[in-house]
Amino acid sequence: MIMAIRRVYLDNNASTLPLPEVIDAMMTLLREEYANPSSPHQFAQSAKYRVECARQQVADLIGAAPKEIIFTSGGTESINLAIRGFLQANTPEPSAGRFVTTMVEHSAVFRVAERLAADGYDVDFVGVDKHGRIDQAEWDAKLTPETSLVSLVHANNETGVVFDVAKLGAVASDRGIPVHVDAVQSAGKLPIDVSSLPISLLSMSAHKLHGPKGAGALYQKRRTRLAPVLLGGGHERNLRAGTENVPGIVGMGVAAEAAKRDCGEFRPRVTALRDRLQRGILEAFPDAHINGLKAERVYNTANISFPGLESEAILILLSEAGISVSSGPACSSGSVELSRVLKAMGLDERIIRGAIRFSLSRFNTPEEIEYVVSLMPQLLSKLSTMCGA
């Protein structure tokens, strides 16, 4: 008999549990090395040294040089600095700039694209098929000589679908178009080596890879020009004004080092747990639809729809049972709008309305997954009766 578990956290694409060594390192900074790293005295230089060590650790995770890493407050700022900073530095005026991205980007990219269009930039979006795979022909066609920059998500935050950034980026690079990659959901999960990828900019966030919230990084390839989007002091090579969040930066460095060291160990285990979860849900609800199943997906993510049921009702019952999941990106929580990503995939509204995102981490256990699987038949039967499905 499966016993109830107090809490099962399956919302790791929203945020992850910081590693113990991350917390320990941050607590040391908070208690003992709290000086401003921009100050000239010896106490401050110790904090500066810790920042530079973290820069090396983050650079090592993605095969970059430390000088190519800019620390930010998180993924959203990294994305804004990459896109807006690049266009401001490299286009004389908005009417001369053309920006291309996809219909399934995170809102941090999508909303920037909307603002760029409102400001006078030429903005275009590339579609995907029903499995979330990018339309290669459309991608090729929309990368015109006038294109100033393209932005491409590596692993989709809702479906987990992975884009081939090497192949897609090569199309742009061969035409002289710089490429920005949103690697917020892939850094620390998938191998990334920017030295062999045709990209100029790449965004990361600490709290997606078992680091703290409030810290992120942007990879800026050598000789890629950026303009700051925050004005103030000369921090981060005059590209990111503001006193460095030293504990957060150090925590991100420790998390990056752990991800590089341990990814090969926990990836097969997490993959097996996700696959067991999918099988168990399909056995309990044969009409369930795994969104993006036929595409390459990041190993920790399963976006599963329950046609005829409402995701909000499923979320409530799962939460009451101590199971934390989501129906989409955390920044859209409370919204009653249908998923923009699933709509872009052309899925039926009944499928979209019943979509739940399960996202696992290295901390999940087989016992937790079995608990969820054991609970699903009763829960789904109850909802089907209530909804008349």
Do 357 and 276 lie in one domain? The reply is yes
Residues whose CB falls within 8 Å of the CB of residue 181, separated by 6 or more in sequence, listed in order = 151, 152, 153, 154, 165, 169, 197, 199, 201, 202, 203
To the query of whether residue 263 is one of the catalytic residues in this protein, the response is: no
Do 48 and 191 lie in one domain? The reply is yes
Please check whether residue 127 lies inside any domain of the structure. Answer: yes
Calculate mean pLDDT across residues 243-259: 97
Return the amino acid letter for 85.
Answer: G
Above 80 in pLDDT, residue 280? yes
Number of domains in the chain: 2
Among candidate residues 258, 286, 318, the one where a domain is terminated = 258
Please check whether residue 335 lies inside any domain of the structure. Answer: yes
Q: What pLDDT, in 10s, does the model give residues 94-127?
A: 999 999 999 999 999 999 999 999 999 999 999 9
Q: What percent of the chain has pLDDT over 90?
A: 89
Q: Which domain holds residue 207?
A: 20-258
Above 60 in pLDDT, residue 2? no
- The per-residue pLDDT for 385 is 73
Q: Active site residue: 53, 263, 331, 387, which one? A: 331
- The per-residue pLDDT for 1 is 42
Above 70 in pLDDT, residue 334? no
Contact 119, 71 (CB under 8 A): no
Contact 373, 8 (CB under 8 A): no
- The per-residue pLDDT for 19 is 98
Do 246 and 268 lie in one domain? The reply is no
Do 229 and 270 lie in one domain? The reply is no
pLDDT band at 384 (very low <50, low <70, confident <90, very high): confident
Q: Compute the C-alpha angle 87/211/251, nearest 5°.
A: 95
Residue 302 belongs to what H/E stretch?
A: strand 301-305
Among candidate residues 258, 288, 307, the one where a domain is terminated = 258
- The per-residue pLDDT for 248 is 98
Do 249 and 276 lie in one domain? The reply is no
Return the amino acid letter for 155.
Answer: A
- The per-residue pLDDT for 4 is 58
Q: Is the dihedral of CA 364, 367, 372, 373 positive or negative?
A: positive
Q: What pLDDT, in 10s, does the model give residues 130-167?
A: 999 999 999 999 999 999 999 999 999 999 999 999 99
- The per-residue pLDDT for 382 is 82
- Can you tell me which residue has the tokens 């000088």? 67
Residue 69 belongs to what H/E stretch?
A: strand 69-72
Do 12 and 36 lie in one domain? The reply is no
pLDDT band at 381 (very low <50, low <70, confident <90, very high): confident
| Weakest mean pLDDT among 192-206, 270-284, 367-381 | 367-381
Please check whether residue 3 lies inside any domain of the structure. Answer: no
* CATH at 101: 3.40.640.10
**DSSP H helical segments within the chain, as ranges?**
20-32, 42-62, 75-90, 107-118, 136-142, 165-174, 235-238, 246-284, 311-320, 340-344, 349-353, 366-387
- What's the pTM value of the predicted model, to 2 decimals? 0.94
Do 135 and 13 lie in one domain? The reply is no
Beta bridge partners of 125: 101
Do 250 and 183 lie in one domain? The reply is yes
In the chain, what is the greatest distance between 2 CA atoms, to the nearest angstrom? 70
Integer Cα distance of 288 and 358 in angstroms: 14
Above 80 in pLDDT, residue 386? no
pLDDT band at 328 (very low <50, low <70, confident <90, very high): low
- The per-residue pLDDT for 187 is 98
pLDDT band at 379 (very low <50, low <70, confident <90, very high): confident
* Collapsed DSSP state (helix, strand, coil) of residue 217: strand
Do 274 and 347 lie in one domain? The reply is yes
Q: Which of 227, 248, 244, 209 is closest to 82 using CA atoms?
A: 227
Please check whether residue 204 lies inside any domain of the structure. Answer: yes
Please check whether residue 214 lies inside any domain of the structure. Answer: yes
pLDDT band at 388 (very low <50, low <70, confident <90, very high): low
Please check whether residue 2 lies inside any domain of the structure. Answer: no
* CATH at 368: 3.90.1150.10
Please check whether residue 1 lies inside any domain of the structure. Answer: no
Contact 68, 237 (CB under 8 A): no
Do 249 and 345 lie in one domain? The reply is no
**DSSP H helical segments within 160-227, as ranges?**
165-174
Q: What pLDDT, in 10s, does the model give residues 68-100?
A: 999 999 999 999 999 999 999 999 899 999 999
Please check whether residue 112 lies inside any domain of the structure. Answer: yes
Among candidate residues 198, 229, 258, the one where a domain is terminated = 258
Integer Cα distance of 383 and 353 in angstroms: 14
- HEC secondary structure over 108-154: HHHHHHHHHHHCCCEEEEECECCCCCECHHHHHHHCCCCCCEEEEEC
Do 291 and 229 lie in one domain? The reply is no
Q: What is the mean pLDDT of the chain?
A: 94
Do 296 and 363 lie in one domain? The reply is yes
Tell how far CA 226 is from the center of its chain: 22
